[in-house]
Amino acid sequence: MADKIEIRNLNLFYDKFHALKSVNMVVRDKNIIALIGPSGCGKSTLLRSINRMNDLIDGVRINGEVLLDGRDIYNSGLDIYKLRKRVGMVFQRPNSFAKSIFENVAFGLRVARLANKKKISEIVETSLRTAGLWDDLKDKLGTSALELPLYHQQRLCIARLLAVEPEVILMDEPCSTLDPIATMKIEEMMIELKKKFNIIIVTHNMQQAARVSDQCGYMLLGDMVEFNKTSEIFTNPRDKRTQDYITGRFG
């Protein structure tokens, strides 16, 4: 299998604060990667540098390389909007737009200036089906997305991404506002999505990382302490710090 994403010596500074310290990571195609670690360890920052979301923040400096299919996303003149279409993101809190359910899912298609109404309806339906929402929502596609319960909204945000068919889906603690049952649904969906997409998930929840991911990275204070197969990380960690964290002695 090919390498989808390769991160080489990535350093990131917020003004003077060194948030990522020479991080290296190789993501193989059609996998779920989990990033774990205590709050403030840089896992969200790392995630956000894969679709250049950190560019929105003032005072960020980045050096190193992030290769997507072998091409550096920072220095090769890759169009940032095309990049973000290929690398989509799901956020901690669902951020459904103040629009109808239909328009939320169609958003990315409108951004891409797709005008064919029939095609748009088809894609909206397929995306909602994949996200497991179609049966619940098909009769109220015109109502405001903000009136849905949070767990529906979060899945709607995933459906919204699926509509633009990204290659990589970044998830920043997508279940932190959800209850265990809704979390389980999202996890089932991730396993299903893995067949077509690459998923990188940041999570506070070690059990979640163990349940869903194929590879896992443990981060601490901006360092990638250990990156390995999930089974290895949880049963046979090489680094003492990883062991302390997963056994609950720290963090």
One of 51, 154, 198, 230 touching other proteins (CB under 8 A): 51
Q: Which of 84, 152, 155, 241 binds other proteins (CB under 8 A)?
A: 84
Length of the chain: 251
Contact between 14 and other proteins per CB under 8 A: no
Applying CB under 8 A, among 18, 21, 28, 93 the residue interacting with other proteins is: 93
- Taking CA atoms, 195 is separated from 154, 166, 189, 199, 240, in Å, by 21, 13, 11, 10, 34
Given 53, 137, 159, 206, the residue binding other proteins (CB under 8 A): 53
Considering the rule CB under 8 A, would residue 98 count as an interface residue with other proteins? Answer: yes
| CA 241/CA 165 separation, integer angstroms | 38
CB of 88 to other proteins, least distance (A): 5
Alpha carbon 208 to its chain's center: 14
**What's the closest the beta carbon of residue 84 comes to other proteins, in angstroms?**
5
Q: Are strands 3-14 and 17-28 parallel, antiparallel or unpaired?
A: antiparallel
Footprint (CB under 8 A) of other proteins, residues 113-152: 144, 146
State yes or no: residue 97 binds other proteins (CB under 8 A). Answer: yes
Chain-centroid distance, C-alpha 188: 15
Write the burial class of residue 25 (CB in 10 Å: 0-12 exposed, 13-18 middle, 19+ buried).
Answer: buried
Shortest reach from residue 130's CB to other proteins, in Å:
16
